[in-house]
């Protein structure tokens, strides 16, 4: 939906900063399920129980950094230095035990970095890539997810037209209907205005009556 795995990570939390916040990565098990579903790791990937809390903290830190940097860029501002530092640090740390694997050779991470490494490097690739100018925030006030606008004319406004876009259209149609609906015949205000119209007469009309 977002068009980038780093942005998909950022969008795993909804309504941040509100009492209605929804965190889809609330524990280590949720992170493992999400990463497998997103293709970041194999379905059978696991992390030792003693390392799960550290994994949770690092994923949340990386996600927060991507949100902070991405939101700033989407709003036309430079990304905060602490956010960039966090992304670079997690990416660099993932290289500690990395090796070259396969043919053609590619970087292979070990342990929890098999999950963290691809996400951190995806974030770095996004921040230094050619599509950074396409980074936007969903215009829905109760969403604000990040996404890459790959539309031909760069006019995409919603993270998903079937959800946020449809909800906006529904609200707009409801507002239009409210404005265009005429007052009911039994409406008190409508009756008062009709009565006032019947009682009031312009000066020339009153003067004509007096002459008669």
- CATH number of the structural domain spanning residue 111: 1.10.3300.10
What are the pLDDT digits (tens) for 50-63? Answer: 999 999 999 999 99
What are the pLDDT digits (tens) for 63-78? Answer: 999 999 999 999 999 9
Number of domains in the chain: 2
What are the pLDDT digits (tens) for 23-33? Answer: 999 999 999 99
The residue segments making up the domain with residue 79 are 5-156
Instruction: Sort strands 135-137 and 146-148 into parallel, antiparallel or unpaired.
Output: antiparallel
Same domain, 151 and 187: no
SS3 176: helix
- Is the residue at 150 inside a domain? yes
- Distance, in Å, from the CA atom of 72 to the CA atom of 68, rounded to the nearest integer, reads 6
194-198 long-range CB contacts below 8 Å, 24 or more apart?
A: none
Q: What's 24's DSSP letter?
A: T
Same domain, 196 and 147: no
Report pTM. 0.76
Q: Which of 138, 156, 174 is the last residue before a domain boundary?
A: 156
What's the rounded mean pLDDT across residues 150-156? 82
pLDDT band at 183; cut points 50, 70, 90: low
Backbone angles phi and psi of 203, in degrees to 5: -60, -45
- Is the residue at 164 inside a domain? no
Q: Is the pLDDT of residue 201 over 60?
A: no
The answer to whether the CB of 121 falls within 8 A of the CB of 88 is no
Percent of the chain predicted with pLDDT > 70:
75
Q: Is the pLDDT of residue 186 over 70?
A: no
Backbone angles phi and psi of 54, in degrees to 5: -65, -40
Q: Is the pLDDT of residue 173 over 70?
A: no
Task: Please report the pLDDT score of residue 199 as a whole number.
Answer: 43
- Is the residue at 177 inside a domain? no
């Amino acid at each position: 939906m977002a068009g980038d795995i780093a942005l998909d990570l950022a969008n795993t939390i909804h309504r941040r900063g509100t009492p209605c916040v929804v965190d889809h990565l609330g524990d280590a098990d949720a992170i493992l399920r999400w990463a497998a579903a997103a293709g970041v790791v194999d379905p059978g990937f696991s992390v030792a129980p003693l390392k799960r809390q550290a994994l949770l903290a690092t994923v949340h830190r990386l996600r927060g950094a991507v949100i902070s940097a991405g939101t700033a860029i989407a709003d036309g501002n430079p990304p905060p230095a602490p956010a960039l530092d966090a992304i670079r640090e997690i990416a660099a740390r993932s290289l500690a035990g990395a090796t070259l694997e396969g043919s053609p050779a590619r970087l292979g991470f070990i342990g929890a970095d098999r999950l963290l490494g691809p996400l951190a490097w995806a974030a770095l690739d996004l921040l230094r890539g050619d599509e950074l100018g396409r980074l936007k925030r969903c215009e829905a006030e109760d969403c604000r997810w990040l996404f890459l606008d790959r539309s031909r004319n760069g006019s995409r406004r919603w993270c998903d037209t079937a959800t946020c876009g449809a909800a906006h259209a529904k609200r707009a149609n409801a507002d239009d209907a409210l404005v265009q609906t005429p007052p009911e015949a039994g409406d008190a205000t409508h009756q008062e205005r009709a009565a006032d119209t019947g009682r009031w007469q312009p000066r020339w009309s009153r003067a004509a009556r007096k002459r008669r």
